[in-house]
Amino acid sequence: MSGHSKWSTIKHKKGAADARRGKLFSKLSRAIMVAAKEGGSDPGSNLALQNAIEKARSYSMPKDNIQRAIAKGTGEGTDGAAFETVVYEGYGPEGVAVIVEALTDNRNRTASEVRHLFTKHGGNLGATGAVAWQFERRGVVLVGAEGVDEDELVLAAADAGADDVELDDTTFVVSSPPEQLSAVRSALESVGYVLQSVELSLVPKTTVAIADESTAKQVVRLVEGLEENDDVQDVYANFDIPDAVLEAVAG
């Protein structure tokens, strides 16, 4: 279990308990609106929308909010038309690769803010393609480990199309090809597993080991700062920080 995967479980727990849930729901709604605008309102034929809805559901976003976001994206209002997808790539301390996915109505503003955050936390923004090759798109489902038999979970996940299951303390991380994410979620839910998170993610192919607590803190502050930005939807990085150090700096 890499430090990056550990961070995914930590940030989901923080997000699920976040007092600023309104801000989180706003980001999730924006992703749904843009997906619906670009690919239509039917999740069955629009994988991006399907994935945006899956992620919103995993954070307990109300069904009415999801439906309103879809409606706005497909023409009932102008909100969805204002946003476009932008991706930034760069490096954090110790050469950690970072990818930032954003939805913005002002490219210049977002680029300036993202660049400032990289510089502030000891990193630098790179050119398109600088680090993307170090990641692969994967479906990721987090399953609460309490009372779960690992062998049974592995079999159920594999039958639905998943190809990897890892244990992170109190959470199982179930990975699959992107197109199998919905099937994996449905299969695991149908047999009673408690799903903590369901989303499409960028998973690093290789990681950068960081054992020094000061450097680890700088990396985490960079990621947290980017995730706090209103326009940023997701941040992916290939750091590998020991669990004890990661939990200490994230706390």
For 164, 167, 185, the CA distances from 161, given in Å and listed in that order, are 10, 18, 10
What's residue 211's pLDDT? Answer: 87
Residue-level pLDDT at 216: 92
Q: Which residues of the chain have pLDDT under 70?
A: 1-6, 9-21, 76-81, 251
Write the single-letter amino acid at 98: V
Select from 16, 37, 34 the least CA-distant residue to 25: 16
> Hey, what domains does the chain have and what are their CATH numbers?
3-82 (1.10.10.200), 84-133+206-243 (3.30.70.980), 135-204 (3.30.70.980)
Please report the pLDDT score of residue 101 as a whole number.
95
From the list 169, 168, 220, 181, the residue with the least C-alpha distance to 58 is 181
Compute the distance between CA of residue 210 and CA of residue 177 in angstroms, rounded to an integer.
28
pTM of the predicted structure, to 2 decimals: 0.86
Strands 171-176 and 164-168: antiparallel
The 8-class DSSP code of residue 180 comes to: G
* Strand intervals (E) in the chain: 84-91, 97-104, 124-125, 135-144, 164-168, 171-176, 195-204, 208-209, 232-237, 239-240
User: What is the tens place of the pLDDT at every residue in 193-221?
Assistant: 988 888 888 999 999 999 899 999 999 99
User: Between the CA of residue 155 and those of 160, 162, 165, 168, what are the distances in Å?
Assistant: 9, 9, 10, 18
Phi, psi of 120 (to 5 degrees): -60, -35
Q: What's the token pair of residue 101?
A: 């996915």
**What pLDDT does 132 receive?**
95
Which residues are CB-neighbours of 63 under 8 A, at least 6 positions away? none
